[in-house]
Structure 1
Amino acid sequence: MTQPSPAAEALTRHPAPGTRRPAWLLGAASAVVASVFFAVLALGRWNAGNSADYDLGIFAQGADAWSRGQWPESHIRGLSLLGDHFSPLLATWGVVWRIWPTPPALLITQSVLLGAALGVIVGYARCRAGWKVAVLIAVVGIFSRAVLTTAMFDVHEVAYAAIGLAVLCIALLQHRFGWALAASVWLLLTKEDMGLTVFAAGACWWWMYRGDGWRRPLALAGLGVAGVIVAMLVLAAVEPGSGSGYLAYFGIGKSNKLPVPEDHSLSPQRLLPVLMYVVLALVIGVRSKLTVLAIPTLLWRAVSSNIHYWALDFHYDIILWPIGLLAFVDVVSRYGVPRLHSWQSAGVGVAIVAGFGLAVSEMADRAVAPGSMFRTAAVVTNIRSLADDHLPKGARVATQADVGAYLVPTYDAYSLRPDQHPSVDYVMFTGKPKWLYQVPKCAKDKLIRDAEQVWRRGTVTLVKLPHRQRITPTC
């Protein structure tokens, strides 16, 4: 690859007039296809009975509260969600819930957000690097483990970050400060750690446009710092020692008591997110200045003691997804497509193969079959029928992690976990052999022995307690 010419630099900032319409038509088509695909996966997981309290049940309860004009609270999480993560943007889920009050509405909304982010990226790629690169980005983007883990991990606020980061990256590449500012505000309202990324955007702006002076990069960097400070103050004020308790994973403050395995060793697994970014950027994209935006996320994940932050099995990689894809587009638009037998083309090929391999393994691990969207598993039917037949509306129910989301919003669901002690009238759990926060069999047997009444259908058990009491599922 050679250095970009002045003409190529100009094209990077301003597209040819005739390229706009086909660029965004391809982007719109990619957005629709991706949204449908992600929705099919998410709804298939829902119908298969694999959706969970963490996080669909939590955010469904939050959306329900927002829709009634109340601050978001989740009995499953056991606190106000504004004290768990700083995500005011989730008030928009309250609007969705007002129209269609059911958890699948949030799954579809998230799918549309992720699809829209890909559409923006593909449209920009078509405009800057041609239709072949744009089609490659569309395919790689849809079948990326980073986005599939988010689409199949029920819902999470970082879905909003994907489109915000796509716009921020493009604004940086096109030298559009207003759009960069707007995208930065969007990100700050998404999650508390996004302030670090906005700070990095200030550094990136300075690196890309040093001739502009310090005012704009300092404005972005200052906005990022202010965003982090405001977010942490709100978290500490709303739920002292809860949301800010995530800092305990970095050796600061007290734990928020989430039952997450910790590891303080220098495990090589800490580098997995870095490898994911290299794959997303198709190797050669790492030389783009946009890589600066990925550094804060890669750093805080690497230094944390929370092993889930290092893993590739959750939603954390969605932050890297738009940055990596657009970094690749940036490099190709500046330096051209790598020659066929060069090391760069070999690197791109290896990254594509690795990316598809990771995606296939993720879908296999989640056991998601698109056909599940069109049939409801027996466990879901049994949860609903037991609830309809024996639970009064609004009943307080402690639920195993694979049950609660299916009871929102008709019933008041709580989490059946050793670290929480909800006061409830009923308990519902399944007999699935493996599940997150699984209730021990001996604890289930004790609940059944002490029950006033027990109903069973298939693998689902509903227990009516003799009186309202605090539940701790331990033996």
Structure 2
Amino acid sequence: MTSREPAPPVEEDEDVVVVAPDEQTTPDPAPTNGDGPRVSRRERARGVVRTWALPAAVGLLVAAVYTIYSLAQWQAFVVKSWDLGIFTQLASRYAALEAPIVHIKGPEYHLLGDHFHPLLVLLGPVYAVFPHAFTLLVVQNVLFGIAAAVITRAAIPLLGRVVGVLVGVAAGLSWGLQYAVEAQFHEIAFAVPLLAIALVGVLREQWRTTIVAGALLALVKEDLGLTTAVLGLVLAWRSRRPAMLWLSAWGVGAFVLATRVVLPSLNPDGEWVYGSRLDLAAALSDPLALYAPAKGYTLWLLVIVTGAIALRSPFVLLAAPTLGWRFLSAEPGYWEPTWHYSAVLLPIAYVAMLDGIDRARRGRVRWLRRYSRYAPIVGLTASLMLMSQLPLWQLTNPGLHFGAPREQGARAALAVIPDGAVVESDIGLMSYLVDRTDVYYLGNQNPVPEYLVIDRQGGGTPQEWGDVLQVAQMLHPEAAFELVHAQDGYEVARVVGASALDD
């Protein structure tokens, strides 16, 4: 049974949306051989190539642009946080078929006690072939490119080739994904294509595809189990199949299992750490206190890039769990559109836009049918106007944004640290050491390292701590260290008694 309602009768004086012959959503009839429709493998392959040529080109474009940006960051020694180092250590453990023990997070810290992301085991085989922190950035960029291709594939039959491709590019280079690329790798990279695949599956009534993608989504991060639950509700309603509610049960079950069992059992504090950041009782006691300009700006960005017609679709309900935990938190950083927190919202918004246009065209509201013609243009115009405020705009002046005046000092600092060494570091050079040394973060209680590395200009070590020898004395008073490198703010100390190096 289909969820589509019959189109209302159209009066003679009403505008009718006409779709060009090459843009029809109904596929061409399959060739037959007398006994019924039978398509040869070659014809089927040609059909797939014709269908996916433009979407694949969009996906490659998005992945390439983001990789150029990531490469510029990498060569300029830009490290946004410790997260890239954390996930690189996780990938190296999975590549070695080991538990994800991540020393950057803490000595012998099991990372599945921080967030529930078992799907990241897929990083293991990739990292085994390409053992480098930069590999994770490329993986994320490719995943975003896949999401753009999927959205483009859904947009072309509805909007035509030109507008459909432009919408796919806009989705792939949208503000939420740009900020995620700027923030470097995070686990939500896997959620972006899964959400696109799942929602396009609903749009095209490919229920099995939606179920598989939705089930995997719950394994990306604990809160996404609730998003999967909402997806199950939408799927059951659109398919008119109550059995699809099992997907909702799976999502709720994954969320409960993660937050009540897995995370507390593996976390050193015996709890779901991030649950304490939500204060629902305080929010309900003073609802007006929930308002903040940053929250309104984030919502406005979501609406404007879709020409507001996404609000016509029930798909927008999938954004509620993510927006809920962010806006109910007392952490202001969650309210802003920056970092990676909004990346999962953009595939929801763009597929909701496509669904909203389709529903408006078939609806009874005349002005909405008319507006559905122009909504993509409104969204594309808004996206274009936002570009100068977003991270990719930095590529227009790479000398300013990605100049590396301290490159020589950074490379010299890296050169004095041998492979396999135990290193304690701030975030300055962490991501450049993590794939060849055993790195600890100096903000934790760590064992005495062989080398201590700080970046006094941008590594995050408090200035009042002093130079690297003073930091060493503060963190490890029981050990003696000697200075082996100091240049351009990068300082390296070696514990006395370590094997000599060729300077």
TM-score, length of structure 1 as denominator length: 0.83
Amino acid at match of 1:250: L
1:295 is the counterpart of 2:306: no
Identity, % of aligned pairs? 27
Distance 1:400 1:80, change over 3 A: same
Distance 1:98 1:331, change over 3 A: same
After TM superposition, the structure 1 = structure 2 runs for residues 262-281 of structure 1, keeping only pairs within 5 Å, are: 266-281=291-306
8 Å Cα contact 2:453-2:468 kept in structure 1: no
Question: How far does the alpha carbon of each residue in 1:88-133 deviate from its partner, in whole angstroms, 9 at most, with x for none?
Answer: 1111111111101111111111111110110011011112332133
1:334 Cα deviation after fit: 3.8
User: What residue in structure 1 maps to residue 235 of structure 2?
Assistant: 205
Aligned mates of 1:162, 1:228 — CA distance in 2? 18
Amino acid at match of 1:294: A
SS at match of 2:439: strand
8 Å Cα contact 1:41-1:369 kept in structure 2: no
After TM superposition, the structure 1 = structure 2 runs for residues 380-459 of structure 1, keeping only pairs within 5 Å, are: 380-389=407-416, 391-417=417-443, 420-425=444-449, 426-432=451-457, 438-445=460-467, 447-448=469-470, 450=473, 451-459=481-489
User: What residue in structure 2 maps to residue 257 of structure 1?
Assistant: none
After TM superposition, the structure 1 = structure 2 runs for residues 289-328 of structure 1, keeping only pairs within 5 Å, are: 289-328=314-353
Selected match of 1:16 from 8, 14, 27: 27
Selected match of 1:283 from 294, 297, 308: 308
SS at match of 2:491: strand
User: What residue in structure 2 maps to residue 105 of structure 1?
Assistant: 135
Distance 1:303 1:316, change over 3 A: same
8 Å Cα contact 2:452-2:468 kept in structure 1: no
Aligned mates of 1:162, 1:15 — CA distance in 2? 27
Aligned mates of 2:164, 2:248 — CA distance in 1? 31
Amino acid at match of 2:91: A
SS at match of 1:455: strand
User: What residue in structure 2 maps to residue 45 of structure 1?
Assistant: 73
Using the TM superposition, name which of 230-239 and 422-431 deviates more.
422-431
Selected match of 1:186 from 213, 216, 222: 216
The alignment covers a number of residue pairs equal to: 442
Using the TM superposition, name which of 110-119 and 289-298 deviates more.
289-298
Aligned mates of 1:368, 1:413 — CA distance in 2? 31
User: What residue in structure 2 maps to residue 67 of structure 1?
Assistant: 95
After TM superposition, the structure 1 = structure 2 runs for residues 119-268 of structure 1, keeping only pairs within 5 Å, are: 119-209=149-239, 212-216=240-244, 218-232=245-259, 233-241=261-269, 244-251=272-279, 266-268=291-293
8 Å Cα contact 1:53-1:403 kept in structure 2: no
Aligned mates of 2:270, 2:497 — CA distance in 1? 30
User: What residue in structure 2 maps to residue 471 of structure 1?
Assistant: none
8 Å Cα contact 1:13-1:175 kept in structure 2: no
Question: How far does the alpha carbon of each residue in 1:247-278 deviate from its partner, in whole angstroms, 9 at most, with x for none?
Answer: 011139xxxxxxxxxxx864332333322321
8 Å Cα contact 1:313-1:362 kept in structure 2: no
Distance 1:446 1:383, change over 3 A: closer
SS at match of 2:390: helix
Amino acid at match of 1:36: A
Distance 1:364 1:331, change over 3 A: closer
Distance 1:20 1:359, change over 3 A: same
1:231 Cα deviation after fit: 1.8
Amino acid at match of 1:105: T
1:57 Cα deviation after fit: 0.6
SS at match of 2:26: coil
Aligned mates of 1:246, 1:315 — CA distance in 2? 16
Distance 1:75 1:223, change over 3 A: same
Question: How far does the alpha carbon of each residue in 1:259-314 deviate from its partner, in whole angstroms, 9 at most, with x for none?
Answer: xxxxx864332333322321343311221121121122122211111222111111
User: What residue in structure 2 maps to residue 55 of structure 1?
Assistant: 83
User: What residue in structure 2 maps to residue 115 of structure 1?
Assistant: 145
SS at match of 1:464: strand
SS at match of 2:82: helix
Using the TM superposition, name which of 144-153 and 441-450 deviates more.
441-450
SS at match of 2:121: helix
Aligned mates of 2:26, 2:372 — CA distance in 1? 26
8 Å Cα contact 1:83-1:239 kept in structure 2: yes
User: What residue in structure 1 maps to residue 285 of structure 2?
Assistant: none
SS at match of 2:453: strand
Q: Which has the higher contact order (CA 8 A, sep 6+)?
A: 1
TM-score, length of structure 2 as denominator length: 0.79
Question: How far does the alpha carbon of each residue in 1:338-373 deviate from its partner, in whole angstroms, 9 at most, with x for none?
Answer: 9999777777655444433444323279x556858x
1:135 Cα deviation after fit: 2.1
* Runs of 5+ unmatched residues, structure 2: 10-16, 30-46, 281-288, 474-480, 499-503
8 Å Cα contact 1:380-1:406 kept in structure 2: no
Aligned mates of 1:64, 1:21 — CA distance in 2? 36
1:207 Cα deviation after fit: 3.4
Amino acid at match of 1:41: Y
Distance 1:186 1:364, change over 3 A: closer
Selected match of 1:76 from 104, 115, 124: 104
Distance 1:341 1:247, change over 3 A: closer
Aligned mates of 1:158, 1:192 — CA distance in 2? 11
Amino acid at match of 2:198: L
Kindly name which structure, 1 or 2, has the bigger radius of gyration based on alpha carbons: 2
Aligned mates of 2:347, 2:195 — CA distance in 1? 6
Using the TM superposition, name which of 420-429 and 99-108 deviates more.
420-429
Aligned mates of 1:242, 1:98 — CA distance in 2? 32
Distance 1:347 1:180, change over 3 A: closer
Distance 1:64 1:199, change over 3 A: same
Question: How far does the alpha carbon of each residue in 1:123-154 deviate from its partner, in whole angstroms, 9 at most, with x for none?
Answer: 11112332133122123123311111112211
Aligned mates of 1:441, 1:457 — CA distance in 2? 16
Amino acid at match of 1:59: F
